[in-house]
A and B are shown apart, each in its own frame.
Chain A
């Protein structure tokens, strides 16, 4: 790996620790970076940071009141279980795992930016997981030489967050505003619209979810 790439990697790692203005000047030096190579390595960084994030969000999820009557609770728990996906698929497909991590990070950032509720984020990630893990989608990926098409995952993330926001929020930004948060790709409205429809039909329009945030 050429030296300047290596340096750049060090800097992107620092980006997680230092405030942005400090790094802006450093970024300017690197105009001719090949983004794709960085992405691959950067995933490790992401998986490390998300592990801690997940732990802290678990704490949030536990802060709810469970005042269910005796019959309702088992049926809700059964429904909740239906929506949870096994991790084996992610463990076997590391490329998918890392692009999924990145997409989840992006969803959480946008969710925070627009002060969407926690439930919106939970819905969006659930839609994304169910969509990515759907049998058809996996096959498509394998056909493409195991190239996981990072843009496809990102497009799915945009569509899933948009659907979740429309389901849960009272104000939903336009597609273009939803994509303000830094991402390597910017999709046209008609592309996101088509992806929304694909996600909806792949998930069989089952958008209501039983979560620990259920009220």
Chain B
């Protein structure tokens, strides 16, 4: 087996843990993950989430997913070799000013995101933490790539490891917010996140931005109405303390909130932002929605 430096060369540091490197005529992006010298891992070897996450990435082959090409070890470090995305690809795609000049491009990118989510869900993989920051786009070629490492989990993965990395709440679904502390992620949560990104594309600002879970829920209910046992069977038992629900609010008219959207688009958005996870549209069905006719 070749060592790291025998296989890759011309290292060029991009950030503290990320390098650009070369093998033959091809460039790669190398991420360094220090895992094996962590104190708490001393007695139990390679952390389970690393094993799960890397083996998942190894199986995936999708144009819209940043591809993991190679995994090397050297001492306590893991070196993940990903496909190289040139300067034309920009992270945090919603911050790209060109995004907002072409409405058709937004639809194209939304389609690519949903298509990827459907691909992952078909393989029992959840994104859990889909955020615009992890999405890169090439505006010229209109290709979108999702960087999954650190985000994707299998359905069954236990959650302790992720609870500490709460970070951004904005894209969390109401069912996850209700069960804060004992989160049960599932496929509808990912669709909700895409719905939030859809809204953000249209409004040029985050759809929901609540700094805490309570405020975020309030924002959600202000737009979509407070759920009732009719719109979301079992909601009262899920939410536990109904203090989280706040005073009942009526849903707003999405057509007035999103005047730029045609009826098909409004229909898709409302189905993705359906409060009840069981009634929310699946990624697979969303890809087939009439809104995407002609994409």
**Which A residues have a C-beta under 8 Å from some C-beta of B?**
136, 159, 162-163, 166-168, 170, 172, 174-176, 189-190, 192-193, 196-197, 200-201, 204-208
Contact = CB atoms under 8 A, between A and B. Distances in A.
Nearest to A195: B45
Interface of B: 1, 36, 42-48, 51-52, 54-56, 58-59, 71-73, 156, 158
A166 B43 contact: no
A193 B43 CA distance: 8
B55 A167 contact: yes
A200 B43 contact: no
A112 B1 CA distance: 36
Contacts of B59: 206, 208
A174 B36 contact: no
A205 B44 contact: no
A111 B47 CA distance: 20
B73 A201 contact: yes
A193 B46 contact: yes
B1 A201 contact: yes
Contacts of A159: 45
A163 B51 contact: yes
B43 A206 contact: no
Interface pairs A-B: 5 shortest CB-CB: A166-B48, A207-B55, A193-B45, A196-B45, A205-B54
A159 B56 CA distance: 20
Contact of B46 (A136, A170, A174, A200): A200
Contact of A167 (B36, B43, B52, B58): B52
B43 A189 contact: yes
Contacts of B45: 159, 162, 175, 189, 192-193, 196-197
Contacts of B47: 166
A131 B44 CA distance: 20
